[in-house]
Amino acid sequence: MTEKVEKAIPLLPHSPGVYLMKNKDDKVIYVGKAINLYNRVSQYFLRPQVGKVAKMVENVDHFETILTKTDKEAFLLEENLIHTYYPRYNILLKDGKHYPYIALKKKGDPYLKIARSNNDKRSEYYYFGPFSTSSYAYEVINLLNKLFPTRKCRTIPKTPCLYYHMGMCLGPCINKIDPQKYEELYNKIRDFLNGDTQEIKAKLKLEMEEYSNNLEFEKAGEIAKTLKAIEHITSFQGVEDKNRVSRDVFAYTSRNGYLSLALLTYRRGILLGKEAFILEEFGDNIEQITNAILHYYSTHDLPHEILINIPNIKEQIESIYDVRVNSITKGDQLELIEMASLNAKNALDSHFVSARLEDDKVALLEDLGHIISIPTPYRVELFDNSHIQGDSPVGVAVVFINGEPVKKLYRKYNIEHMEKRDDFASMKEVMLRRYKRMKEEEQDMPDLILVDGGLTQIHAGNEIINELGLNIPVYGLYKNDKHQTKGIMDKEGNTYPIDNKSLFFMLVRMQDEVHRFAISFHHDKRSKSFTKGILDDVKGLGSKRQEIIRLRYPSLDLLKSASLEELSQLIPEEVAKNLLERIKAVEKDRK
């Protein structure tokens, strides 16, 4: 215990608040909340500790406290501070799944979109779902836009689009729509999304029979496909609960210093998915699990109720979130708890089976620091550039904190300098833009920068770091003659082979992640620019028709797969032929 800590403990108040543990460099290494700050903080130093708690306490040079009026305020502040400092000893849950909803605009022109949450406080949309996958939700929207005259354009054009002329839109751009007509349309869409599809199916069957009787088998076949799509959409698949309640079911287990928290997500009685979060034990298990659940709902929608098998946390969750929490020990719902418990146990078993990939990441970072003689690099930033012969050049930065990717800190950069193929100049541009801004905004800097490209890229990074007056080590990941990653290289060309297999695999995963992010960004940019170039050179395809094509086919791959029949439903057949010929010609030139 340092002298600063010893003097500060008697001054701690017996009130709720947040505490920040700091090391000798004044860096926040842990953030916690407490109903009683004196009781909670003092026990770190006045009682014997073991494991990671003991290690954290050893590194505490001093601490600060922030008082709050309530425990709820303390939680919200703790959540904010954790995502500001990303402290070394705070164990965060990996971001869980966000199941998509279909959102129908309440007022004005009926417009449909995909939403990742149904927590629109302004209540501008009706929400339906959630759906198990995004592709499933988009399938529903495409069918709805086909069946109903919804507004397709994101912004109202000055002249009517082809959807209006095809009877697929009411034309709010030129017509004043009767509110009663809109109300009827809203009701039909809501009824469809709530499972009432009989009227639409009956109407479509009559149309199909008429086409068939008139020997228009192609049109009849299209309606048959639509009917099959309706059947697919309205036949929900999943493991059903006995009622239609939306609920989350939690259970946990512990083993050999690790906790496994399992979550079963039910919406409208349907099991959408299951997740398990593996946490290293850090202090009291119940307190840690409680905090994990609280933090989970800071970024996820609340269900109607939560089922748990965890004692003494019901009141804490209900005091912070407006949700009913039931602690289940018997009855029909015990089966759900047992299923969650089984998933928690299986997840922990899997964790230990794959222990090579799940080692203590911070310990591995400590080993990395020893190997290249720098302080432990808790925050690592990696850079990569991507282009094809100078086409659509981009650069990216990804961030790992405590060995885990923090995707909200990832950044994309369009290369702006004139010589697009110059990797040295591209790296300098990206790093200058990133760290100049971070320095101006006084953001936390990384402990280590890794580049993928040998000495050239390392020198580019060092030039920028020196130019900005920063003190950040820049290293590269070097490869052998088979282009396989072997170790780390410094600016002098010295190499450091990585013999620790677990550390090696962690570095490779980091490298794969920055490469994936760069390739994905480059592909998206190239696809958009490629599509734009194709559409600009097609005879008869003006700006309005181009907008319709882009809305229906947002990527080049989708456009390439379109048939003449599909395109002719959106644009004149002759123009559709011109477009297909243009696509074939460009594809031939690219090969």
For residue 472, give both structure tokens: 């950040």
Least confidently predicted of 64-68, 290-294, 500-504: 500-504
Strands 101-105 and 62-67: unpaired
CB 168 within 8 A of CB 145: yes
Q: All domains of the chain, ordered by start, with CATH? A: 3-85 (3.40.1440.10), 101-234 (no CATH), 247-353 (3.30.420.340), 362-524 (3.30.420.340), 537-590 (1.10.150.20)
How far is the C-alpha of 559 from the C-alpha of 530, rounded, in Å? 11
Residue range 50-65: average pLDDT?
Answer: 90
Per-residue pLDDT tens digits for 169-187 = 877 787 888 888 888 888 8
User: Which comes out higher in pLDDT, residue 572 or 14?
Assistant: 14
Tell me whether the omega of the peptide bond preceding residue 10 falls within 30 degrees of 0, making it cis. Answer: no
Q: How does DSSP classify residue 311?
A: T
- Residue 436: pLDDT band with limits 50, 70, 90: very high
Mean pLDDT of 450-464: 89
The rounded distance, in Å, linking the Cα atoms of 349 and 362 is: 22
What integer pLDDT is reported at residue 96 of this predicted model? 67
Q: Of the spans 89-93, 210-214, 451-455, 556-560, which averages the highest pLDDT?
A: 210-214
Residue 136 confidence (pLDDT) above 90:
no
The rounded percent of the chain whose pLDDT value lies above 70 is 87
Q: How confident is the model at residue 236 (pLDDT cuts 50, 70, 90)?
A: very low
Spatial distance between the Cα atoms of 112 and 100, rounded to a whole number of angstroms: 13
Which pLDDT score is estimated for 238?
39
Q: What is the pLDDT of residues 246-266, one digit of tens each?
A: 899 999 998 877 899 999 988
Highest mean pLDDT among 70-74, 196-200, 496-500: 70-74
Token readout for 483 is 């282009």
pLDDT band for position 318 (50/70/90)?
A: very high
pTM, 2 dp: 0.63
Average pLDDT over residues 369-375: 94
pLDDT (tens digit, 9 = 90+) per residue, 149-158? 888 777 777 7
pLDDT per residue as tens digits for the range 510-533: 988 998 888 888 776 665 555 556
pLDDT value of position 358: 44
Please name every residue paired with 474 in a beta bridge, in sequence order, or none if there are none. Answer: 449
d(CA 18, CA 68): 8
- pLDDT surpasses 70 at 367: yes
Amino acid 400 reads F
The radius of gyration of the chain from alpha carbons, rounded to an integer in Å, stands at 29
CA-CA distance, 30 to 282, in Å (whole number)? 11
Lowest-confidence pick of 26-35, 117-126, 439-448: 117-126
Kind and range of the H or E element at 564? Answer: helix 564-568
CB 55 within 8 A of CB 7: no
Q: Are 68 and 18 in contact (CB under 8 A)?
A: yes
CA–CA separation, 345 vs 348, rounded Å?
Answer: 5
Q: Which pairing describes strands 270-280 and 258-267: parallel, antiparallel, or unpaired? A: antiparallel
256-284 burial: b if 16+ Cβ within 10 Å, else e: eeebbbbbbbbbbbbbbbbbbbbbebbbe
What is d(CA 348, CA 355) in angstroms, rounded to the nearest whole number?
Answer: 10
> Tokens 């086909």 correspond to what residue?
146
Is residue 384's pLDDT more than 70?
yes
DSSP string, 336-391: HHHHHHHHHHHHHHHHHHTGGGSS-HHHHHHHHHHHHTSS--SEEEEEEEEEETTE
pLDDT at 590: 55
Instruction: For residue range 331-362, list pLDDT tens digits in order.
Output: 878 989 999 999 999 988 887 766 544 457 88
Q: What is the 3-state secondary structure (H, E, C) of 181-245?
A: HHHHHHHHHHHHHCCCCHHHHHHHHHHHHHHHHCCCHHHHHHHHHHHHHHHHHHCCCCEECCCCC
* pLDDT computed for residue 262 by the predictor: 94
- DSSP label at residue 172: T
3-state helix, strand, coil in the chain (%, to 5): 45, 20, 35
Q: Is the pLDDT of residue 427 over 80?
A: yes
pLDDT surpasses 50 at 237: no
User: What rounded mean pLDDT belongs to the chain?
Assistant: 83
pLDDT tens column, 392-419: 578 899 999 988 899 889 999 988 765 5
φ and ψ at 96, to 5 degrees? -80, 180
* DSSP type of residue 443: P
pLDDT of residue 546: 79
pLDDT at 173: 82
